Amino acid sequence: MNFKAPRGTHDLIGPEALRLRQLEEISRNVLYKWNYSEICLPSFEDAGLFTRSIGESTDIVEKEMYVFEDRKGRKLALRPEGTASAVRAVIEHNLTQTLPLVKLFYAGSMFRYERPQAGRYREFFQVGAEYFGNPEPAADAETVIVADEILRKMGLSKTEIHLNSLGCKACRPAFRAALKDYFASQKDLCGDCRRRLEHNPLRLLDCKIDGHKFEGVPKMEDFLCPECSDHFGRVRELLQQSGRAFIVDHRLVRGLDYYTKTIFEIRSASVGSQDALCAGGRYDNLVEELGGASTEAVGFALGSERIILAASNENAFREPQGPVRVFIAVSGESLVKEAFGFAVKLKTSSRNDEIRSGLGLEDKAIRVEGPFAKKSLKSQLKLADRLGADKTIIFGEEEYKLGVVIIRDMKTQGQSEVRVRPA
């Protein structure tokens, strides 16, 4: 029986895996500069954590979570997003009470049962960041700038920041009521819109089927209370001050119930209809709703596959300087011990080691393979070529008696001798 990767999953091999690691490394470097610390979160949690935080009427909870019972009947779920898990960790470890500032980031797999599309998988990778305890608009602006900076470091240029405010508990009810009145008068709503109308009318603004029909739809900005209006205005001022262009998008909503005030997406023109590379916003009530002390928070998540796709489409990947590939070959089995010991020293020595210096590899990363004594020297050299070796170090019997080895450049076929021991 031939097994294949489950639908909606994918293998990342060689260059594809390298690109994911590049994105994560760039993200780490940017986030460290902004004083974020890394947290490694479990891949599954109590299913109730996501139901309570994300919202029972959201698509994620209703349709997309991978839920299962363990052997003791506990209901668990593979994490569909990272914010709820980060909040759980902050509460469980009492971080906001023991640390003066809590800024966390994470990278890893998320799981949602969605229809696979370009850049969308059922197991997908995200980089996320969460900033706890700062209610100021500067925290919102910082979050947008950090996300944008990561995308810039990835070499992306065809991006747009979309910004909106969802208000707070004081002003959102009037907006919801206005939306319900508006949509109740609309005819021929799709099935999802009819279902959302009663419990989650904000999601109708994001409908991919009916969205083009909605003209004159109410805007949240017209319903913001003075505090939320001032907060949103100051966020925009700070982004302008930082030189970040943005679009105030009155149709922007998020698929998670916990958001308050500022929300944003960073979109790309390089990836088709699934154009959101990053999404996030403020969620000032979630920590308290999950059992912690009242704590303001704001965060974002980057969709790794979509960013990689956008970077590929823009030819934005800067291929890193790869390691020097070194192959160890022997002319006979009598030199296997010496060649093997040399290979071990080469792999474990520091970059400024005498061995590397003699080979001209002082400051270079290397990858070493060999020896394979059961093969003829000719076969070993063919193997070195197939493995993409840059240099082959040949232990020849006569040369080694004189304390030298042969260095062959596999591209030019030029050779030189290097002393490795006294004659």
What CATH number is attached to the domain comprising 391? 3.40.50.800
Instruction: Verify that 349 and 403 share a domain, yes or no.
Output: yes
Instruction: Verify that 400 and 286 share a domain, yes or no.
Output: no
Residue pair 127/23 in contact by the 8 Å Cβ criterion: yes
Domain that holds residue 67: 15-171+224-313
Q: Which residue has the higher pLDDT, 417 or 107?
A: 107
Q: Give the model's confidence band at 150: pLDDT under 50 very low, under 70 low, under 90 confident, else very high.
A: very high
Instruction: Verify that 301 and 332 share a domain, yes or no.
Output: no
Q: What is the CATH number of the domain that holds 21?
A: 3.30.930.10
Neighbouring residues of 8: CB distance < 8 A, sequence distance ≥ 6? 113, 114, 116, 121, 122, 123
The answer to the question of residue 178 being in a domain is no
Instruction: Verify that 19 and 93 share a domain, yes or no.
Output: yes
The answer to the question of residue 219 being in a domain is no
Instruction: Verify that 28 and 125 share a domain, yes or no.
Output: yes
Instruction: Verify that 240 and 378 share a domain, yes or no.
Output: no
Instruction: Verify that 391 and 296 share a domain, yes or no.
Output: no
The answer to pTM > 0.85 is no
Instruction: Verify that 19 and 71 share a domain, yes or no.
Output: yes
The answer to the question of residue 212 being in a domain is no
| pLDDT value, residue 418 | 85
The answer to the question of residue 193 being in a domain is no
Q: Examine the pLDDT at 57 and tell me if it is beyond 60.
A: no
The answer to the question of residue 329 being in a domain is yes
pLDDT tens figures, 298-335:
999 999 999 999 998 888 877 666 788 999 999 988 88
Among the candidates 285, 313, 341, a domain finishes at 313
| pLDDT value, residue 355 | 67
Among the candidates 257, 281, 313, a domain finishes at 313
User: Residue 94 forms beta bridges with which residues?
Assistant: none
Average pLDDT over residues 389-413: 90
pLDDT tens figures, 68-86:
999 999 999 999 999 999 9
Instruction: Verify that 80 and 24 share a domain, yes or no.
Output: yes
Beta sheet of 366-369, edge-to-edge order: 366-369, 324-330, 391-395, 404-409, 415-419
Q: Which residue has the higher pLDDT, 199 or 296?
A: 296
pLDDT tens figures, 201-238:
777 777 767 666 677 788 888 899 999 999 999 999 99
Rounded Cα gap, residues 277 and 310, in angstroms: 8
Instruction: Verify that 300 and 403 share a domain, yes or no.
Output: no
Residue pair 324/364 in contact by the 8 Å Cβ criterion: yes
Q: Give the model's confidence band at 176: pLDDT under 50 very low, under 70 low, under 90 confident, else very high.
A: confident
The answer to the question of residue 147 being in a domain is yes
Average pLDDT over residues 361-390: 87
Alpha carbon of residue 405 to chain centroid = 45
Instruction: Verify that 109 and 246 share a domain, yes or no.
Output: yes
Closest by CA position to 59, among listed 217, 214, 191:
191
Rounded Cα gap, residues 299 and 279, in angstroms: 9
| pLDDT value, residue 53 | 77
The two beta strands, 366-369 and 324-330, are parallel
The answer to the question of residue 185 being in a domain is no
| pLDDT value, residue 349 | 73
Q: What token pair was written down for 247? A: 């679009």
Region for 204 from its dihedrals, namely left if φ exceeds 0, alpha if ψ lies in -120 to 50, beta otherwise: alpha
Neighbouring residues of 411: CB distance < 8 A, sequence distance ≥ 6? 390
The answer to the question of residue 389 being in a domain is yes
Instruction: Verify that 28 and 156 share a domain, yes or no.
Output: yes
Closest by CA position to 366, among listed 354, 349, 380:
349
Average pLDDT over residues 125-146: 96
Among the candidates 281, 313, 345, a domain finishes at 313
Average pLDDT over residues 364-380: 87
E strand map for 232-282: 247-248, 260-268, 276-282
State how many domains the chain has.
2
